[in-house]
């Protein structure tokens, strides 16, 4: 009977293991403690556009990407075309920008790069406006989610709850308390975990995801066991029947 009870109990999940954001009422009125903006890394592809409200397009054209000057900036285009119209951050952390030459961008935020380029371009163009986007920003999610795979992030900003929502949420068979994030910054890997059942996740350094993060949702105990001896409900019922039969024989 102990064996039967253990099987039944191991197949059940508590509310605390399933429900997200336990104690969320404590978040009421709290300010966001995390101010996040993507930091540019090596191998990022940046799409940089330059405009001005004071001069016509011909004046700012020399500062546009060559593909955009040839008319490649029009139309939707796929991810590959977007990358072709971008500036690859090289292994030395720089991009080659028209007129200005080599520009150090590694370790800077988008806002910092925009402000830096505006100052430099202002020597040639009146009131320049610079917009910087990361066109190859993506994260990968694997494991017990509705739809695993690579997720493209057009605006370069995504949180863990947003990623899970875009991936079809964690399945009933996934662990919500121990989600693994593998992160690489300039060739150095780090590993962290996040608990979706607690509100502490909102202050975690892994709440905001970074370029090329790998997120893994581990299967729960019930799923792991089902891949072994207890591969189906029929197998469990068979074990229960056998156990009851042995009890009946030895207690007659």
Q: Is residue 156 part of a domain?
A: yes
Structure tokens that stand for 138 in this block: 């993506």
Give the per-residue pLDDT at 64: 92
Residue 208's domain comprises 2-37+137-224
Strands 138-143 and 214-217: parallel
pLDDT digits (tens, 9 = 90+) for 204-224: 999 999 999 999 999 987 777
Structure tokens that stand for 85 in this block: 């119209």
Residues whose CB falls within 8 Å of the CB of residue 102, separated by 6 or more in sequence, listed in order = 94, 95, 96
Cα–Cα distance measured from residue 63 to residue 185, given in angstroms and rounded to the nearest whole number: 29
Q: Is residue 238 part of a domain?
A: no
Give the distance, in angstroms, between the CA of residue 126 and the centroid of all CA atoms in the same chain.
38
Percent of the chain with pLDDT over 90: 52
pTM of the model as a whole = 0.73
Q: Write down which residue in 95, 116, 134 finishes a domain.
A: 134
Residue at token pair 């988008």? 110
Question: What is residue 143's three-state secondary structure?
Answer: strand
pLDDT digits (tens, 9 = 90+) for 53-90: 887 888 899 999 988 766 655 444 444 556 677 999 99
Cα–Cα distance measured from residue 105 to residue 94, given in angstroms and rounded to the nearest whole number: 6
């Amino acid at each position: 009977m102990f064996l039967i009870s253990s099987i039944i109990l191991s197949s059940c999940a508590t509310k605390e293991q399933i429900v997200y954001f336990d104690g969320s009422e404590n978040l009421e009125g709290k300010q966001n403690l995390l101010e996040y903006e993507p930091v540019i890394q090596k191998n990022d592809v940046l799409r940089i556009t330059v405009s001005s409200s004071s001069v016509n397009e011909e004046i700012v054209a020399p500062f546009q990407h060559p593909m955009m000057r040839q008319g490649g900036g029009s139309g939707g285009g796929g991810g590959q075309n977007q990358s072709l119209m971008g500036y690859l951050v090289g292994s030395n952390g720089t991009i080659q920008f028209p007129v200005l030459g080599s520009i150090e961008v590694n370790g800077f935020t988008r806002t910092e790069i925009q402000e830096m380029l505006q100052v430099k371009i202002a020597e040639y163009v009146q009131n320049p406006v610079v917009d910087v986007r990361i066109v190859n920003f993506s994260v990968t999610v694997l494991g017990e989610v509705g739809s695993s795979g690579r997720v493209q992030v057009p605006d370069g900003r995504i949180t863990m709850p947003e990623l899970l929502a875009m991936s079809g949420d964690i399945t009933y068979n996934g662990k919500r308390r121990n989600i693994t994030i593998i992160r690489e910054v300039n060739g150095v890997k780090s590993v962290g975990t996040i608990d979706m059942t607690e509100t502490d996740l909102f202050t975690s350094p892994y709440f905001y995801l970074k370029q090329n993060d790998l997120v893994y949702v581990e299967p729960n105990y019930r799923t792991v066991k089902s891949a072994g001896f207890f591969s189906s409900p029929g197998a469990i019922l068979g074990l229960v029947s056998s156990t009851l039969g042995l009890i009946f024989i030895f207690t007659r």
